[in-house]
Amino acid sequence: MIKAIVEMPKGTKAKYEIKDGVLTLDRMLYYPVPENYGYIVDTLAEDGDALDVFIISETAFHPTTVINVDIIAMLECSDNGIRDTKLIGRVVGAGDFIDYEKIAHYLNGYKPNFIVLSVSNDNKKIEQEIAIAQERYNQVRS
């Protein structure tokens, strides 16, 4: 179980980001996000932002909602040649069906030069990705 914060509720075309504690509209998207989208608390990914996460749920959650999630998969992506990992989680205790293809299809049309390279369900690899991002966050914070 890990804490995630929702930035974009499922079904929205509004690309929100939380920067310095403020929810800001970054831009409008062409397609609605297929699942709730946000980030993992106290992490820093290689792209300079927190680790991104799709939160699978039948419910669309409001931006800034904190949710306990179980991470069940990781998408290795490339954004203009820069590694951009996306995690997939579900609300703790929920049994919602995960449609990886729907998420990958969304991301492949998300913006130019964004490509989903692979999907992994390897728990050890996922835990390592999160641990590295947490360590990176702690190093920058201190």
The pair of structure tokens assigned to 113 is 């030069």
Is 0.85 topped by the overall pTM?
A: yes
Class in CATH terms, 2-141: alpha beta
Express each pLDDT in 48-93 by its tens digit. 999 999 999 999 999 999 999 999 999 999 998 889 999 999 999 8
pLDDT-derived band at 13 (thresholds 50, 70, 90) equals: very high
Q: Where are the beta strands (DSSP E) in 1-142?
A: 2-8, 14-19, 22-28, 36-40, 52-56, 66-79, 82-83, 86-91, 114-120
Which pLDDT belongs to residue 16?
95
pLDDT-derived band at 40 (thresholds 50, 70, 90) equals: very high
For residue 2, with 0-12 CB atoms within 10 Å meaning exposed, 13-18 middle and 19 or more buried, which class applies? buried
